[in-house]
Amino acid sequence: MTPLTSAAPVADRAPVELSPTAVLLDLDGTITDSAPAITSAIAESLAAFGYPAQTPEQLLRHVGPPIRDGLLELAGVSETDLEAVVEHYRTIYAERMLDVSLYPGVPELIRVLHAAGMPLALATSKMRHMAVPILEHAGLAQYFTVIAGATADESRSTKADIVEDALAGLTAAGIDTSRAVMVGDRHHDVDGATTHGIPAVLVRWGYSRPGEEVGAFGVVHDAAELAAVLGVVRG
């Protein structure tokens, strides 16, 4: 097997099989297809405060990054309105956040990884107190040693912060993170992993746009391909 630290990134092709000691997984766009719930809540919130409507493609860009970053940079929300728009969005989103589908093969892969003894951590930019019930509703929370997400006060909200917290939680549980791997669908996942010196595998079934694979160890297109990359056989 190729050592993680020496493998060159390969765009839009699966990397060689890895031998990770732990796997960190993103949530939105990786495990759950949460776009309809998120984008509808954003659209309604922008309309409520008089901001121009965005196209479906523009709204999709909000899925993945921290909500404040998206509203400021992608929707042009002013600093003056930001907190009120965020609060409005979160009120709407909380009512529909459990109404999401799971990507084909991903829940099964999570169960197989767990059964094989692979330590798993969730590393999501979503607030942790929202991520936990979503995983519980999906019947997957019990497979994760650590569930890391943005803190309620948002003092920890960047993907680099969250990857750091996930790795720290795994280490505190006595898990070897020397060959941890991050799996996600956006460049934020790649960047957050790279900050901490771990490779990222970008999944193409989520919300990535062309170019977001830059810096990733490799790219996969379905759960079976991801399973092969992580060195597990799905039965």
Give the pLDDT confidence of 173-227 residue by residue, as tens digits: 999 999 999 999 999 999 999 999 999 999 999 999 899 999 999 999 999 999 9
6-39 per-residue burial string, b: 16 or more CB within 10 A, e: under 16: eeebeeeebbeebebebbbbbbbbbbbbbbebbb
Selected catalytic residue, list 12, 26, 161, 189: 26
Distance, CA of 138 to CA of 102 (rounded, Å): 8
What would the two tokens of residue 7 be?
A: 């493998």
Separation of first and last alpha carbons in the chain? 22
The length of the chain is: 235
Mind listing the pLDDT tens digit for each residue in 45-103?
999 999 999 999 999 988 877 888 889 999 999 999 999 999 999 999 999 999 999 99
The string of DSSP codes covering 167-219 is HHHHHHTT---TTEEEEESSHHHHHHHHHTT--EEEETTSS--TTTTTT-SEE
Reported as a pLDDT band with limits 50, 70 and 90, residue 8 is very low
- Give the residue from 172, 164, 168, 220 showing the smallest Cα distance to 197: 164
Distance, CA of 158 to CA of 184 (rounded, Å): 14
Active site residue 161: no
Distance, CA of 136 to CA of 122 (rounded, Å): 13
Report strand pairing: 180-184 vs 146-150.
unpaired
